[in-house]
A and B are shown apart, each in its own frame.
Chain A
């Protein structure tokens, strides 16, 4: 392992450790309730970036993959009372499958046509779950949180640490893809799909792979959601805001490097949560819009691009 690789894993361990320590030290449970979405968006944005950033295919369907993950959890809870770990893996598998299918059907489309097709996936999913009474249908379903597993004293704190682990897993996957031949192939697709094909890159296979992995990670991020809210309902679960948030975070952070979506999501979602708590629930949507416009105009390569510029200027 190189020193850079070792550095990454030490950083990852420290991040999980910090989340664990916070869960032990901070008594106010609301802190974790507010911080959980920030971590969740780091996963969503990192996952989005694998297809959207590396391969340049703008996916508006994040909410579909996220929502399917959440509903997979509910179906598992309802049918077998499966534990959280099983819910997460089940959700990742289902959303990965959805990614695979969606990819096969839509990744022959390019540019805006692909993006529109992914929006359609959200509506298909939402309609499906509105009509499935077993998991609550249109009215939704109230869920009772089980007792937290030792050493956690509350379920929310546990979910917070679990999400921190998912963050590390998602970032590790994205980082691996980025630095491997797969990442180079995806970048070639983004730069020129035709030239990539003629350089031996199996573009469709790579795109479907990226869409599958991206979908699976989004599903994993959605899995704990029903228990986080103790409630699930289709309209808010398949909300376009998830898609916008994931996409905006990656663009604001910078899509060229795995660190971009992480920084973007930390900044954007923290601001959003702050606005939600201190101002109003509607304000957080405005935050996304304003930040996105500012970054697209002033720093098209995101925070990463800005940092790189500053470094070069020195």
Chain B
């Protein structure tokens, strides 16, 4: 397909004798809202780590915007437009919220220009859209859980991604907070950013995604619209064990 932004072809990953991913293939289109679900340990985060470069896949290929990227280090992938948040937030805890955003601004967006005077203003603008502007000078190790999640999304945004991977950005949040983060993701998608959402909160994935893939034990067991996924017998079996 010509409008595919991300193509994962036959990707496998083993940890010792354990096959975390076996020949997984997915395709994410430009501008799409893509959901990735599966029970614990099914390989969702491993797949995302292979796409973002935190891990390297053993077999298969990963193509982003027509370029094979599976041998590139993570920072090169970020510079090509793949940004992510982490399942367990990983703030730069010695820095303020604003400085957290300045890192990708300096290393991705403005790395070729020597006079980076506006990075703070730019970071501030991103914080405003995400609703964290009043926390700009707060040390990031003093944020609440929901603020941390938002900051991770803001930091990912600061890298000006074409593809944003949200790895359980809503885990542990209250339903109001889930709605808030979901709103942010919808807003980002409207600006043209393709989004892959990994989530355990079914309500959120189902509402958000246009297309969903379900992983189980490192294999894709089902792919389709949210409605089709919910009704699928294999998915129900994987989740409920029935």
Which A positions have Cβ atoms within 8 angstroms of B? 181, 184-185, 187-188, 190-192, 194-204, 256
Chain B window 61-88, contacts with chain A (Cβ cutoff 8 Å), 1 for yes, 0 for no: 0000000000001110011000110100
Q: Encode B95-114 as 1/0 by CB contact (under 8 A) with A.
A: 10001001110111001000
**Cα distance A112–B94 when bound, in Å?**
21
CA distance in complex: A185, B159 (Å): 14
Report yes or no: A199 in contact with B53, Cβ–Cβ below 8 A: no
Q: Are B106 and A184 in contact (CB under 8 A)?
A: yes
Number of residue pairs A-B, CB distance < 8 angstroms:
82
The smallest C-beta distance from A206 to any residue of chain B, in angstroms, reads 9
Given contacts A184-B99, A195-B86, contact A200 B104 (CB under 8 A): yes
B86 touches A188 (CB 8 A): no
A200–B79 contact, CB under 8 A?
Answer: yes
The interface residues of chain A lying within 8 Å CB-to-CB of B94 are 187, 190-191, 256
Provided the pairs A191-B91, A192-B91, A204-B73 are in contact, do residues A197 and B78 lie with their beta carbons within 8 angstroms? yes
Residues of chain B lying within 8 A (CB to CB) of residue A196 = 92, 103
**How distant is A199 from chain B, measured CB to nearest CB, in Å?**
4
In the assembled complex, the CB of B79 is this many whole angstroms from the nearest CB of chain A, namely 5
Which residues of B are interface residues toward A (Cβ below 8 A)? Answer: 52-54, 73-75, 78-79, 83-84, 86, 90-95, 99, 102-104, 106-108, 111, 116, 155-156, 158-159
B91-A181 in contact (CB<8A): no
Query: For A204, what are the chain B residues with a Cβ–Cβ distance below 8 Å?
Result: 73
Which of B86, B90, B107 is within 8 Å of A201, CB to CB? Answer: B107
| Chain B residues near A201 (CB-CB < 8 A) | 75, 103, 107
Whether the Cβ atoms of A198 and B54 lie closer than 8 Å is yes
B86 touching A194, Cβ below 8 Å: yes
B45 CB → nearest A CB, Å: 12
For A185, A196, A198, which residue has the most chain B Cβ atoms within 10 angstroms? A198
Residues on B with beta carbons closer than 8 Å to the beta carbon of A185:
103, 106-107
Cβ contact of B159, chosen from A181, A199, A202, cutoff 8 A? A199
Give the residues in chain A near B92, CB-CB below 8 Å.
187-188, 191-192, 195-196
Enumerate chain B residues within 8 angstroms of A190, measured Cβ to Cβ. 94
18 contacts between A and B (CB under 8 A): A184-B103, A187-B92, A188-B95, A191-B95, A194-B54, A194-B90, A195-B91, A195-B155, A196-B92, A197-B53, A197-B74, A197-B78, A198-B75, A198-B78, A199-B78, A200-B103, A200-B111, A201-B75
Closest to B82 in A: A198
Most chain B CB within a 10 A radius of its CB, from A190, A192, A203: A192
CA distance A196 to B93 in the complex (A): 12
Given A181-B116, A185-B103, A194-B86, check contact A199 B91 (CB 8 Å). no
Let me know if B95 and A198 touch, CB within 8 A.
no
For the complex of A and B, the 10 pairs showing the least CB-CB separation, nearest first, are A200-B108, A197-B74, A200-B107, A195-B90, A192-B90, A191-B92, A199-B104, A200-B78, A181-B106, A202-B75
Our pick among B78, B95, B107 for the contact of A187 (Cβ within 8 Å) is: B95
Known: A184-B103, A192-B91, A200-B79. 18 other contacts (CB 8 A): A181-B106, A187-B94, A191-B94, A192-B90, A194-B74, A194-B86, A197-B73, A197-B78, A198-B74, A199-B75, A199-B103, A199-B107, A199-B159, A200-B159, A201-B103, A202-B75, A202-B107, A256-B94
Which A residue's beta carbon lies closest to that of B92? Answer: A191
Q: Would A203 and B75 be within 8 Å (CB), given that A181-B116, A197-B53, A198-B84 are in contact?
A: yes
Residues of chain B within 8 A (CB-CB) of A203 are: 75
Contact in complex: B73, A184 (CB < 8 Å): no
Q: What residue of chain A has the Cβ atom nearest to residue B89's Cβ?
A: A195
Cβ-closest chain B residue relative to A185: B107
> Which single residue of chain A is at the shortest CB-CB distance from B102?
A184
A179 CB to closest chain B CB, in angstroms? 12
Q: How far is the CA of A81 from the CA of B60 in the complex (A)?
A: 60
Closest-CB distance, B85 to chain A (whole angstroms): 9
Please name all residues of chain A whose beta carbon is closer than 8 Å to the beta carbon of B53 when the two chains form the complex: 197-198
> In the docked arrangement, what's the CA distance between A194 and B156, Å?
13
B102, A198: Cβ atoms closer than 8 Å: no
Residue of A with least CB distance to B83: A198
**Chain A residue at minimum C-beta to C-beta distance from B109:** A200
Cβ contacts under 8 Å, B116 to chain A: 181
Chain A hits for B52, CB < 8 A: 198
Contacts of A197 in B (CB 8 A): 53-54, 73-75, 78
CA distance A184 to B54 in the complex (A): 21
Most B CB within 10 A of own CB, among A191, A194, A200, A202: A200
**A232 → B minimal CB distance (Å):** 40
**Which of chain B's residues has its CB closest to A195's CB?**
B90
With a 10 A CB-CB cut-off, give which of A191, A199, A204 has the most chain B CB atoms. Answer: A199
